[in-house]
Amino acid sequence: MQVDTGFTFVLFGGTGDLAMRKILPGLYQAHRSGLLPAAGRIAAVARGFCNREAYIQWMHTHVRHHVKPASDDVSWNDFLERILFVRIDLGQPEDYTVLRDTISPLPGIRVFYLATRPSLFVPICRALACMGLSNGARIVLEKPLGYDLKSSSAINDAVGEIFEEGHIYRIDHYLGKEPVQNLLALRFGNALFEPLWRREWVDSIQITIAEELGVEGRGDFYDNTGALRDMVQNHLLQLLSIVAMEPPHSMHTDALRDEKLRVLRALKPIELCNISRVAVRGQYYTGVLKGVAVPAYVTEHGVSASSTTETFVALKVEIENWRWAGVPFFLRTGKRLSDRVAEIVVNFRAVPHSVFGSMTLRNSSNRLVIRLQPNESIRLYCLAKQPGEGMNLQSVHLDLAFDEFFKEDRMEAYQRLLLDVINGRLALFVHRDEQEAAWKWVEPILSEWARLGTPPRRYAAGTWGPAAASALLARHGTCWLEEEN
């Protein structure tokens, strides 16, 4: 449901990389689709420009080419009419009077989007409260929300003193992706899959988020964060909770969040005495990616030459409940890998007895592959007879071709989530309890790695990570999906 009154969307970090690539293009797409009320205004907050005209020129140069499909002149210029610019120093509370004077006369709800470093979250919220701008407003917090459970709780406590929990939107853009929405529809809108979605029929599940990129100028941040904090604690565990959750009683916000939280609280603690067999950390060195030589992580700008920060993590995870007991979930993420891909692979058990003898192979049995990026698709793999003499089986797949069936433009993740904030829908955002449960599970791994002091395993840029990541699955008699192809 679209709001029928105005809104003011205040974007802190209005010249940052996230604003340039995702937030402003997402707002434009919502505008072009007619999903934003005409009275809505977008106030970009930054200190890099002297006036609105300079900021608008920056948008022409740096934002417009990120819009997909390309914008037309009429809708783009119409969108720019919504843009306000407020030049303030975020660390100076007195500067916020300029923001107050700019947005106070504007009608409708207020949304404050904090696309800044986490150390500014609390000062910004306190400054907004001092100016009387926080009452009834909604606040959007980008990841990472803290460095560990203690710092995350401190931020949540401070923000919670100013904003009600129902007005705090902790964003994880993977939850807004169309295939993740389709996963919910696939599981809970059809009778076909749900009876099979359990330990009796599922052999293992893989969740991968692989990146070709390195740290991309964020070396200072990344070297103090690492892949486990940057990707596993949020994106991967959120995807796992959606894959493994029990059917909610409805699509209501609390119903979805409650079921995800039950999964996170049921995660089996990693066996620290045997951590090398269930957790692999790696760091890329020089290699070749798509025919181009790329440098080692330790030579990236802002990274210490002696860094032991992991750029790759693979984990074997188990869930201690009746549905999933004994089923391994293999999680993997890394930078400078062979390809950019995010996918969920559900490997179903092989038939209990093959009437075809050795022609029915374990790795060729039924599999559901949900691709999140770069192209979005869902494929169901099964065995079929090859044409011709004899009974020779071959793996074939059925495509759920949403692009062919639905002719409408697909909504990008940020567009969907930004509209949800404006319209007051919390279902696709992370509750504080979920964050804390994820941190409680992740922290012992971080502590054990620090205690051991063992450097991460090296892997060449352009590969799929350390060989030990393949060994995780080999011990279960399977392999990562791309290793079969």
Q: Which residues are catalytic?
A: 235
Q: Which strand ranges, in their side-by-side order, compose the sheet holding 83-87?
A: 83-87, 41-46, 7-12, 109-114, 138-141, 168-170
What sign does the dihedral 49-52-57-63 (CA atoms) show?
Answer: positive
> Vertex 221, ends 441 and 23: CA angle to 5°?
90
Find all residues with CB under 8 Å of 366, minimum gap 6, and list them: 347, 348, 380, 381, 382, 383
- The Cα–Cα gap between 423 and 414 comes to 14
Which of 228, 238, 236 minimizes the C-alpha distance to 261?
Answer: 238
Spatial separation of the C-alpha atoms in residues 15 and 58, rounded to whole Å: 8
C-alpha to C-alpha distance for 30 and 3, rounded to whole angstroms: 13
Cis-peptide into 374, omega within 30 deg: yes
Q: What angle do CA 296, 298, 303 make, to 5 degrees?
A: 135
Query: Per the structure block, which two tokens stand in for 391?
Result: 């009974």
The Cα–Cα gap between 262 and 323 comes to 12
> Which CA distances in Å does 293 have to 251, 288, 289, 290?
47, 4, 6, 8
Vertex 344: Cα angle to 340 and 345 (nearest 5): 115
Do 462 and 287 contact (CB within 8 A), yes or no? yes
E strand or H helix that includes residue 54: helix 52-62
Burial 147-170 (b: 16+ CB within 10 A, else e): eebeebbebbeebeebbeeebbbb
Q: Dig out the tokens for 157 from the structure.
A: 């406590």
Q: Are 340 and 211 in contact (CB under 8 A)?
A: yes
Q: What is the chain's length?
A: 485
CA of 68: how far to CAs of 26, 180, 370, in Å? 9, 20, 23
